[in-house]
Amino acid sequence: MSTAARQAAFDRTHTDDLIAYLSSSPSPFHAVASAAERLEKAGFRRVQETDAWDAAAGGRYLIRGGALIAWYVPEGVGPETPFRVVGTHTDSPNLRVKPLPDTGSAGWRQVAVEIYGGVPLNTWLDRDLGLSGRLALRDGSAVLVQIDEPLLRVPQLAIHLDRQVNEGLKLDKQRHLTPIWGLGAVTEGSLIEFVAERAGVAAADVVGWDLMTHDVQPPSYLGKDRELLAGPRLDNLLSVHAATAALAAVAGAELPYIPVLAAFDHEETGSESDTGAQSPLLGNVLDRSVYARGGTPEDRARALAGTVCLSSDMGHAVHPNYSERHEPGHHPMPNGGPILKVNVNNRYATDAVGRAVFAAACEKAGVPWQTFVSNNAMPCGTTIGPITAARLGITTVDCGIAALSMHSARELCGADDPFLLASAIKAFLEG
């Protein structure tokens, strides 16, 4: 299909906005801030966990670190009304700055980093990297910082010094992944002084930081017909963006459920944090929503019994160069619509009941869908789905879209799939 024909057949407005979202969200803290900005435009208002919550209808959201929970209370719903939850995560594998970042060797100034999550290390070599994250200040506040400049680079060893490199590259996480950012003697405090200046604060006021690297190459359409999307952090900001758009779209409607977005942090490292899916954060929000509307523990139990969670995370498209690594009967393809993720050992939470809910949402939205199952000889990844199902005792379905190069510094998916996923999520939230 020609470019003109594809553009006539499909509206890329959603994917264009996804590109803007990815560019403005190099860290989990930026991801929730960017999502909150979109929700504010849709009429949502921020609430604080330390404040009392009221029973008024409308959209609300809260932010805790790199996590965001948002929900919309329709007019006239009772405290026993079930929820429709979309669960996602805001973090992506990358290189994160250590507490004592200034280091160097052989006349090079370098930045000490720690590996975050399951990183294919070679994908971070020879890329121009910026810095982003947050600075904690002495007065207890925090400021976000985003430096989209080529500050850092992890240089690969020249082939002349490693003649066997094409027989298998081996990287030591401690010795070989330290980025360079200049020449000269190492000066303690120089990195934070530089970052603080860019953030507009005094370096003396900075008492802590959560800083990380990001590839400064922007997301872009790829291919002759622009039918693919290449970019960083598709896993899993694509799902965060889709769920945010879907929640904003259903706000104001008469709904049989209370739609909820749960965007957690730290999924890539096991979700064990106060902002991860293993925390009580989501459960507390659901409970407080019930009680703010005059509910009792009985109402809470009734609400959760009827609640369904759609855990949306990226999945694997069949790789044309490694098709033997995939399950022979299940070959999800880009632009084939969302994928239902199934694993009988509960690495994914989908069961037959959840499958029916997902299928109904896709049918209502008029979008195609596919199924992903891992090759029996290959280990299967996992998501926040099983964690959420076990923690809250609610029916949970795992879905996503098919992509290549998951966890790489730059990933690849179909350009139509983000909109198809958002459409399915919207139909799910509407019930």
- 219 contacts 25 by C-beta, under 8 angstroms: no
Tell me, what's the pLDDT at 12?
A: 85
280-325 per-position pLDDT tens digit? 999 999 999 999 999 999 999 999 999 999 999 999 999 999 999 9
Using a pLDDT cut of 90, give the percent of the chain over it: 96
270/194 Cα distance (integer angstroms): 32
Query: Which pLDDT score is estimated for 11?
Result: 66
Domains of the chain in sequence order: 3-92+232-430 (3.40.630.10), 94-215 (2.30.250.10)
pTM over 0.75: yes
Convert the pLDDT of each residue in 325-362 to its tens digit: 999 999 999 999 999 999 999 999 999 999 999 999 99
Structure confidence at residue 9 (pLDDT): 43
Q: What is the distance between the alpha carbons of residues 348 and 49, in angstroms, rounded to a whole number?
A: 30
pLDDT surpassing 70 at residue 86:
yes
The model's pLDDT over 112-135, given as tens digits with 9 standing for 90+, comes to 999 999 999 999 999 999 999 999
- How does residue 244 score in pLDDT terms, banded at 50, 70 and 90? very high
Nearest partner of 409 among 168, 132, 121, judged by Cα: 121
Instruction: Give the rounded distance of the alpha carbon of 107 from its chain centre.
Output: 38
Q: Is 177 a residue whose pLDDT tops 60? A: yes
Contact indicator for 117, 125 with CB cutoff of 8 Å: no
Least confident stretch, 4-13, 109-118, 222-231, 382-391:
4-13
CA distance 81 to 83: 7
Distance of CA 129 to the CA centre of its chain: 20
* The two structure tokens encoding residue 195: 């970052």
* Alpha carbon distance 237, 92 (integer Å): 8
Mean pLDDT of 240-256: 97
CA distance 177 to 192: 20
In this predicted model, what pLDDT tens digit does every residue of 87-115 receive, in sequence order?
A: 999 999 999 999 999 999 999 999 999 99
Position 6 pLDDT exceeds 70: no
Residue 8's pLDDT band (cuts 50, 70, 90): very low
Per-residue DSSP letters for 234-260? HHHHHHHHHHHHHHHHHTTS--SSEEE
Look at the block and give the residue holding tokens 């106060």: 274
Q: Which helix (H) or strand (E) holds 57?
A: none
Does 1 score more than 80 pLDDT?
Answer: no
